[in-house]
Amino acid sequence: MVFALIVVAYFLDIIDASIVQVALPSIQREFIVSTADLQWVYGAYALTIAGFLMLMGRAGDVYGQKKIFMGGLIIFTIASFLGGLAPSLLALIVFRAVQGIGAAMTTVTAFAILIGLYPEGKARNRAFGIITAILSGGFAAGAVAGGFLTVSFGWRSVMFINAPIGLVAVLLCQKYLPKTSGWVQNSQLDVPGALTVTAGTILFVYALTNAAVLGFFSQSTLAPLAASIVLIAGFLFIESRSKSPLMPLSFIKRGSVLTANALALVLTSVVGGISFILTIYMQNILGYSPEAAGLAILPGALIFFLVGGWGASWVISKIGIRKTILISTVLVTVGVLALTTISVGGNYYTILPGLLIWATGASMGFPAINIAAVAGTKHGEEGLASGVVNTSFRVGFPLGLAVLLTIAGAFDPTAAAGSADSSIAAGVVAGFRYALFAGALLGIIGFLLAFRIREPKTSGWGQQAAQGPS
């Protein structure tokens, strides 16, 4: 039951992301707003969830994971309902930002509870695989449900649907989730560190969001980017001198934590950038409808569901973390290189092989990186480990989108806008090809980083570990 509640937390987050995206055109028509303003319906959520993960992860360690988890569910549920009643785009964006805070609280503590629930080895590997499968299925389900709800009941229904699910989850958590007191004894939350890392992360993601549209060298990108660097540097300075640091620097230096988080950034950068490019290519170059483009990515989603959900944990148990990630990064690189054959006159079958190879590699990599990032986590560090790796994954998506679209735009300025004019389609595709080559280069960087991964010493990956709650 506890694992089921963890799954619900992840499912609410991932289904919310895809279900709202499908409803964006209807929201735009009702409020009569520009596309630039509309993007903040998703952007506000992305900013707050990325910014608050580190803080909420450590807050769970200090004050108890159950308190933060349930508080997040309540905030998410209320914000979802109020978002459905939003009288304006600004109000909707505000409620989406609050939703992001609630989602940060639930997902980061759910991950921390998962770490404490299953010991290292096959039990934890399998749990991570199931979570990956749920995320993949949730994203696809959200796209389908979002289309049905929007057409049948209007866009507000995609916000209201979270309310009953969240309410039931809160009641079940109260009954079944074990009580957890603060696991970091005699510790206080590092307020200066919390403020600087939260503000720094939010500004960094905000800068990357602007870079994806305006480029890295626009004032709207450079100003928040510079401010975020100053704040994050200040955070590291504070942590090096704090008696109760939010993120002890010794934790980052331990084992493969730093390398695993770097890999999380790299792999999600590739996934975030390539997914967007393929969507634009299929709709604006090949002429697919949004529904057809959604169906076109289903084979990749199915691979994530099967390989990521079950195959990856089996491979990890057989050959270990490092070899699994090495294979993963090779497949991602080969798959992205295969996608560089896209052309104006291409078709779905020219991109399908690359899509399948790339998805297989990524679906193996995500669970393996998660396992490496939390291996050796001590009691009382579950929230810390969860906050760090989840932040890396969240930041990776906008980072990849910003980098690859900037490269695409540098070779053809219309690429980022995704123009549908056939006279400039060749320029758009040429820009996308250069971006795909950059994605392959990121895959090679990931491959080199994978050599630095250390196999955990606390358990044998090929041996059966204890099952069930600890």
Quick: pLDDT tens for 391-447.
Answer: 888 888 888 888 888 888 777 655 444 444 555 778 888 888 999 999 999 999 999
Cα separation, 326 vs 331, whole angstroms = 9
- Identical fold between 1-179 and 251-457: yes
Residue that wins the pLDDT comparison between 137 and 83: 83
Model pLDDT, residue 240:
87
Look at residue 417 and give its three-state secondary structure: coil
Residue that wins the pLDDT comparison between 238 and 414: 238
Per-domain residue ranges of the chain: 1-179, 190-245, 251-457
Answer whether residue 51 shows pLDDT above 50. Answer: yes
Is there a contact between 375 and 456 (Cβ–Cβ < 8 Å)?
yes
Mean pLDDT of the residues in the chain:
81
Model pLDDT, residue 130:
78
**Mean local confidence (pLDDT), 118-135:** 75
Mention every residue, 6+ apart, whose C-beta is less than 8 A from residue 267: 328, 329, 332, 362, 365, 366, 369, 396, 446
Tokens found for residue 110:
């759910």
Answer whether residue 177 shows pLDDT above 90. Answer: no
Share of the chain above pLDDT 70, in %: 87
Could you tell me the pLDDT band of residue 124, with boundaries at 50, 70 and 90?
confident
The structure tokens 């696809």 sit at: 140
Tokens found for residue 443:
């895959």
Cα separation, 19 vs 219, whole angstroms = 32
Model pLDDT, residue 263:
94
Q: What is the pTM of this model?
A: 0.79
> For 270-329, what is each residue's pLDDT tens digit?
987 888 788 778 877 888 776 677 678 778 878 877 887 778 878 888 898 999 999 999
The CATH number of the structural domain formed by 1-179 is: 1.20.1250.20
The fold of the 251-457 domain, in CATH, is Growth Hormone; Chain: A; (1.20.1250)
Ranking 5-19, 189-203, 382-396 by mean pLDDT, the lowest is: 5-19
**Mean local confidence (pLDDT), 12-40:** 76
Model pLDDT, residue 174:
82
Q: Which of 365, 363, 359, 353 is nearest to 329 (CA)?
A: 365
Q: Which helix (H) or strand (E) holds 172?
A: helix 162-176
Answer whether residue 381 shows pLDDT above 50. Answer: yes
58, 72, 387, 407 from 64: Cα distances, Å: 9, 13, 14, 44
Share of the chain above pLDDT 90, in %: 24
Model pLDDT, residue 247:
83
